[in-house]
Amino acid sequence: MNINTVSTQPIDGQKPGTSGLRKKTRIFMEPGYLENFVQSIFNAIGGAEGKTFVVGGDGRFFNAQAIQIIIKMAAANGAKRLILGQGGLLSTPAASHLIRLNKTDGGLILSASHNPGGIDEDFGLKFNVPNGGPAPESITDAIFQQTKELTSYKVADADDLDLDALGQQSAGDMTVEIVDSVADYRKLMKSLFNFDAIRQLFESGFRIRFDAMHAVTGPYAHAILEKDLGAPDGSVMNGVPSENFGGGHPDPNPVWAHELMDIMMGDDAPDFGAASDGDGDRNMIVGRGTYVTPSDSLAVLTANAFLAPGYAKGLAGVARSMPTSAASDRVAEKLEIECFETPTGWKFFGNLLDAGRATLCGEESAGTGSNHVREKDGLWAVLLWLNILAVRRESVAEILAHHWSIYGRDYYSRHDFENIPTEQANTLMTGLRDALPDLPGQTFGSETVASCDEFSYSDPVDGSVSHNQGIRVYFESGGRAVFRLSGTGTQGATLRLYLEQFEPADGDHLKDPQEALVGVQQAALVICDLQNLTGRSEPDVKT
């Protein structure tokens, strides 16, 4: 096997975001673009010599070709072994599990998560560290620095491997082991949940509809929900992964999973509905006629996790991203466990999980997980909900109503303003930042500002500090507005406006969320001067 050292030069814009590097697919396909970033990863972690990595992705366009390049580069850089999912497919939580199970030196995960796929859509690559979680900022900063200094990359002159053939193959001196993408993850789920109880639930006539959104969780859902648990054939919809996710947008929310929502809000709706995203780490939960916000889902799972065998001994703590509602905080207080508020990005949960201070974690953007892996896990959340439903024998709506009667309800919504010119978005955030000292005490419509700040996070485990993680405005009514620019897009900027209004346990829990939030919404739009700065007043996506 010949090893070629190819001269190159730095490529602008290869800075990893909250979950790796994401760009348009055609950009990743440009000569040297992927190669530069992969070499920068290897350089940033002290080289690949003698190391073992997990490699897999969500099957989007360019997934297989990119994996062939990574194989040749890993071999040229002296890696000892790669573990690949069959066909190049691995859900992100399954990849995290394989990293931990095999005690590898990390993993390269090819995904742009919930972003659309195809030659004219999005592609992504991120490095996960040996604990199975996304690389922390210290490593992503080192990767970015390497992208700015790179002068060459190494790639082997070798034939492509057969990614569909289970077993071992070789690329020079490097061993490539292709494994069943589902098998080890399946075993892990069986160790956490009461499959017998869930199976009995389905035997009683309970109906489910799981929308895999033409993405990577299709094979996992078919194997676990239909084969292991006995859900009727056809319970999994859109279950065959495709390179462009069936032409859809694989984001599990009421807007993009509208096919599932129409079913669940219909006259003959199943008892339970769920969806997962492109790489399998996000989830949406729906009962018959009842949408469950990710914030409420985290709170309900925290309150009821003890019903599943894997969590029967109780939780050490719960962690949530800052934009996520405070619903889980009140559960943690009642359970007398620790509660943490972190920046957006699953990597911020890693230290808490490794230190044993948190057991469950969640983000408002439909990500929920636990200490079983170091990624959010869509199918895991579905199984925990099913375990709870199997034990309590109540509907989703009944479980929510009971929960709110104890803890109160956080009316919650996220409004996304997409593809704002970057300069306009930065001007808006700078204006907000400058206005913070003068906002308390001011009244905007029906809302008076109680306090406000720009969120910074001090990691209680390693002491690291992350600044500028979003602007928070609290109102005297118990409402809150959060302003944040998203780090997951590939063009322009997305302003995420998070709206929250608390209703006490003895209050009205049956309002339409958008109506309950109208006062906070109107105040937030005036405070950030969105209309004047961008010409926009209505979000592109409202969830």
Domain boundary among 407, 436, 465: 407
Mean pLDDT of 192-213: 98
* Residues forming beta bridges with residue 449, ordered by sequence position: 475
Residues 420 and 391 in one domain: no
Residues 342 and 389 in one domain: yes
pLDDT band, residue 543 (cuts 50/70/90): confident
Residue 515, pLDDT > 60, answer yes
Q: CA 57, CA 335: separation in Å to the nearest integer? A: 38
pLDDT digit string (tens) for 350-402? 999 999 999 999 998 889 999 999 999 999 999 999 999 999 999 999 999 99
Which CATH number belongs to the domain containing residue 392 in this structure? 3.40.120.10
Tell which phi-psi region holds residue 512, choosing left (phi > 0), alpha (psi between -120 and 50) or beta: beta
Residues 401 and 423 in one domain: no
Q: What is the pLDDT of residue 491?
A: 65
Q: What is the pLDDT of residue 542?
A: 86
Asked if 414 contacts 521 with a C-beta cutoff of 8 angstroms, the reply is no
Length of the chain: 543
pLDDT digit string (tens) for 22-35? 999 999 999 999 99
Q: What is the pLDDT of residue 309?
A: 98
Sign of the CA dihedral with 96 first, then 100, 104, and 106 last:
positive
Q: CA 299, CA 385: separation in Å to the nearest integer? A: 12
pLDDT digit string (tens) for 314-341? 999 999 999 999 999 999 999 999 999 9
pLDDT band, residue 280 (cuts 50/70/90): very high
Residues 431 and 319 in one domain: no
Residues 337 and 415 in one domain: no
Residues 494 and 509 in one domain: yes
Residue 299 has which token pair? 């709170």
Asked if 184 contacts 94 with a C-beta cutoff of 8 angstroms, the reply is yes
**Which DSSP string do the residues of 190-254 spell out, in sequence order?**
HHHS-HHHHHHHHHTT--EEEE-TTSTHHHHHIIIIIIIS-PPTTSEES-S--TTGGGS----ST
pLDDT band, residue 137 (cuts 50/70/90): confident
Q: What pTM was estimated for this model as a whole?
A: 0.93
Residues 230 and 322 in one domain: yes
Residues 458 and 476 in one domain: yes
Q: CA 372, CA 188: separation in Å to the nearest integer? A: 8
Residue 295, pLDDT > 80, answer yes
CA distances (Å), origin 214, targets 61, 211, 248, 339: 13, 8, 8, 35
Residue 490, pLDDT > 70, answer no
Which positions ≥6 away from 413 have C-beta within 8 Å?
293, 498, 499, 513, 514, 517, 542, 543
Q: CA 522, CA 169: separation in Å to the nearest integer? A: 60
Which of helix, strand or coil describes residue 149? helix
Residue 489 has which token pair? 């897009």
Residue 49 has which token pair? 């010599």
Which positions ≥6 away from 391 have C-beta within 8 Å?
194, 197, 307
Q: CA 289, CA 514: separation in Å to the nearest integer? A: 17
Q: Quote the mean pLDDT of the chain.
A: 95
Is residue 113 among the annotated active site residues? yes
Residues 387 and 248 in one domain: yes
Q: Which of 91, 113, 297, 370 is catalytic?
A: 113
Residue 487, pLDDT > 80, answer no
CA distances (Å), origin 507, targets 290, 294, 321, 456, 504: 19, 21, 26, 33, 5
Mean pLDDT of 136-163: 96
Q: What is the pLDDT of residue 424?
A: 93
Domain boundary among 139, 165, 181: 181
Which positions ≥6 away from 251 have C-beta within 8 Å?
114, 115, 257, 277, 278, 282, 366
pLDDT digit string (tens) for 522-533? 999 999 999 999
Q: Which domain holds residue 91?
A: 2-181
Tell which phi-psi region holds residue 70, choosing left (phi > 0), alpha (psi between -120 and 50) or beta: alpha
Q: CA 75, CA 174: separation in Å to the nearest integer? A: 6
Mean pLDDT of 469-495: 87
Asked if 449 contacts 537 with a C-beta cutoff of 8 angstroms, the reply is no
Domain boundary among 388, 407, 426: 407
Residue 489, pLDDT > 90, answer no
pLDDT band, residue 488 (cuts 50/70/90): low
Residues 414 and 498 in one domain: yes
Beta 360-363 vs 367-370: how paired, if at all?
antiparallel
Residues 222 and 319 in one domain: yes
Residues 21 and 139 in one domain: yes
Q: What is the pLDDT of residue 363?
A: 93
Q: What is the pLDDT of residue 511?
A: 95
Q: CA 429, CA 444: separation in Å to the nearest integer? A: 18
Count Cβ atoms within 10 A of the Cβ of residue 190 and give its class: 0-12 exposed, 13-18 middle, 19 or more buried. middle
For the chain, how many structural domains are there in total? 3
Mean pLDDT of 511-528: 96
Beta 360-363 vs 317-321: how paired, if at all?
parallel
Residue 414, pLDDT > 60, answer yes
Mean pLDDT of 196-224: 98
pLDDT digit string (tens) for 425-481? 999 999 999 999 999 999 999 999 999 999 999 999 999 898 999 999 999 999 999
The pLDDT > 70 percentage for the chain reads: 99
Tell which phi-psi region holds residue 181, choosing left (phi > 0), alpha (psi between -120 and 50) or beta: alpha
The DSSP output letter for 478 is S
Q: CA 62, CA 121: separation in Å to the nearest integer? A: 11
Asked if 310 contacts 192 with a C-beta cutoff of 8 angstroms, the reply is yes
**Which residue from 62, 60, 68 is spatially nearest to 178, judged by alpha carbons?**
68
To which residue do tokens 């206005």 refer? 435
Which CATH number belongs to the domain containing residue 440 in this structure? 3.30.310.50
Q: CA 84, CA 167: separation in Å to the nearest integer? A: 10
- E strand or H helix that includes residue 127: strand 122-128
Q: CA 184, CA 97: separation in Å to the nearest integer? A: 8
